[in-house]
Amino acid sequence: RALYIHSPHLQSLPDLRLEPATFSLTIRYGLFEKQLTLLEEAEGGFDQFTRSYKGYGVQRMPDNSLVFKEWAPAAEALFLTGDFNGWDNFSHPYSKKDFGKWELHIPPKEDKTPAVAHNSKLKVVVHTSAGERLYRISPWAKYVTRHEKSVIYDWVHWDPPQPYIHKHPRPQKPRSLRIYESHVGIASPEGKVASYSNFTHNVLPRIKDLGYNCIQLMAIMEHAYYASFGYQVTSFFAASSRYGTPEELKELIDVAHSLGIIVLLDVVHSHASKNTEDGLNSFDGSDSCFFHSGPRGEHSLWDSRLFNYSGWEVLRFLLSNLRWWMEEYRFDGFRFDGVTSMLYHHHGIGSGFSGDYTEYFGLHVDEDSLLYLMLANHILHTLYQDCITIAEDVSGMPTLCRPVQEGGLGFDYRLAMAIPDKWIQILKEFKDEDWNMGNIVYTMTNRRYGEKCIAYAESHDQALVGDKTLAFWLMDKDMYTNMSALIPMNSVIDRGIQLHKMIRLLTHGLGGEGYLNFMGEQLQLIQNAAAHGNNESYHYARRQFNLIDLDHLRYRQLYAFDRDMNRTEDKYGWLATPPAYISAKHEGDKVIVFERANVIFIFNFHPTNSYSNYRVAVGPPGKYKIKLDSDEIQYGGHGRLDHNTEFFTEPMEFNNLPNSILVNKLYYLWQNKDLHN
List the catalytic residues: 337, 392
Q: How many helices (H) and strands (E) does the chain have?
A: 15, 28
Q: What 3-state class would DSSP assign to 664?
A: strand
Question: Is the CB of residue 429 less than 8 Å from the CB of residue 442?
Answer: no
How many Cα atoms occupy the beta-carbon half-sphere of 461 within 13 Å?
A: 15
3-state SS class at 125:
strand
Q: What angle do CA 66, 72, 76 make, to 5 degrees?
A: 100
- Distance CA(136)–CA(145), nearest Å, equals 14
How far is it, in rounded angstroms, from Cα 348 to Cα 350?
6
Q: Residue 583: name the closest of 603, 568, 559 by CA.
A: 603
Taking the C-alpha atoms of residue 292 and residue 419, their distance in angstroms, rounded to an integer, is 34
CA diameter of the chain: 90
Are 573 and 176 in contact, with CB atoms under 8 Å apart? Answer: yes
How far lies 489's CA from each of 12, 234, 258, 356, in Å? 55, 48, 40, 48
Angle at 263 between CA 260 and CA 269, to 5 degrees: 165
| 626 contacts 555 by C-beta, under 8 angstroms | no
Question: With contact defined as beta carbons under 8 Å apart, do 521 and 470 qualify?
Answer: yes
The amino acid at residue 145 is T
DSSP run (H or E) holding 445: helix 437-445
Q: How many angstroms separate the CA atoms of 515 and 520, rounded?
A: 15
Phi, psi of 623 (to 5 degrees): -105, 135
Collect all residues with Cβ–Cβ distance below 8 Å to 219 and sequence separation of at least 6: 183, 184, 185, 229, 230, 240, 266
Question: Could you tell me which residues come within 8 angstroms of residue 421 by beta carbon, excluding any fewer than 6 positions away?
Answer: none
User: Cβ(199)–Cβ(187) under 8 Å?
Assistant: yes
Distances, alpha carbon 549 to alpha carbons 196, 523, 552, in Å: 22, 12, 9
C-alpha angle 606/612/617, rounded to 5°?
Answer: 85
Amino acid at 152: I
d(CA 202, CA 147): 27
Dist CA 440 CA 432 (whole Å): 13
CB of 613 closer than 8 Å to CB of 663: yes
- Measured N-to-C along each axis, helices 418-429 and 437-445 cross at an angle, to the nearest 10 degrees, of 160
Is residue 44 left, alpha or beta, with left meaning phi > 0 and alpha meaning psi from -120 to 50? Answer: left
3-class DSSP state for residue 399?
Answer: coil
d(CA 644, CA 476): 37
Q: What is the CA radius of gyration of the chain?
A: 27
What are the C-alpha distances in Å from 233 to residues 156, 386, 541?
A: 17, 27, 20
